[in-house]
Amino acid sequence: MHEHWGSNIDPDALARASGAINLDADEATCPACGAVFKTTARRCPDCGLRFG
Ligand SMILES: [Zn+2]
């Protein structure tokens, strides 16, 4: 079953499920919006997705 990444996805669940965030790296790419930001921010400055 393939669902599109849509507006009903919980952003926190998406972050955990994707495993795309490496908090050991200096920068991370938000799996929700694609923004690149410093991992020290602990949340995406663009869409507000939380990490860690
Ligand atoms: Zn984002």
pLDDT of the residue at 24: 74
- Residue-averaged pLDDT of the chain: 77
Ligand 1 centroid to residue 45 C-alpha, Å: 7
- Identify the weakest region by mean pLDDT among 4-8, 10-14, 29-33: 4-8
Ligand 1 centroid to residue 26 C-alpha, Å: 16
**In the predicted model, is pLDDT for residue 42 greater than 90?**
no
Ligand 1 centroid to residue 2 C-alpha, Å: 22
- Written as one letter, the residue type at 27 is E
| Distance (Å, whole) CA 50 – CA 2 | 25
Instruction: Identify the burial level of 11 via C-beta atoms within 10 angstroms of its C-beta, where 0-12 means exposed, 13-18 middle and 19 or more buried.
Output: middle
Ligand 1 centroid to residue 4 C-alpha, Å: 17
Q: How confident is the model at residue 47 (pLDDT cuts 50, 70, 90)?
A: very high
Residue pair 12/3 in contact (Cβ under 8 Å)? The answer is no
